[in-house]
């Protein structure tokens, strides 16, 4: 997770975008910890990952618009 955090937050985005990305990355990290305790990845976990992806991409896209 540190690599992703460093790449996203070190890219010169606005303070608002950085706060949103930090929050999303914190939530993603907590999600990862919960899933890793389960011992298996289910379809609902994959849907959640896709949701995180959409949210992160939307913050980046809106920042560049």
**Per-residue pLDDT reduced to its tens digit, 14-50:** 999 999 999 999 999 999 999 999 889 999 999 999 9
Instruction: Grade residue 65 by pLDDT with cuts at 50, 70 and 90.
Output: low
What string of DSSP letters covers 7-43? Answer: HHHTS---HHHHHHHHHHHHHHHHHHHHHHHHSS--H
Its pTM stands at 0.86
What pLDDT does residue 8 have?
87
Q: Which residue has the higher pLDDT, 11 or 32?
A: 32
For residue 28, how many other CB atoms are within 10 A of its CB? 19
């Amino acid at each position: 997770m540190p690599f992703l955090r460093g790449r996203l937050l070190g890219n010169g985005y606005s303070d608002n975008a950085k706060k949103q990305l930090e929050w999303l990355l914190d939530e993603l990290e907590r999600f990862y910890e919960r899933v890793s305790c389960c011992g298996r990845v289910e379809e609902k976990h994959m849907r959640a990952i896709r949701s995180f992806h959409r949210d992160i991409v939307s913050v980046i896209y809106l920042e560049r618009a």
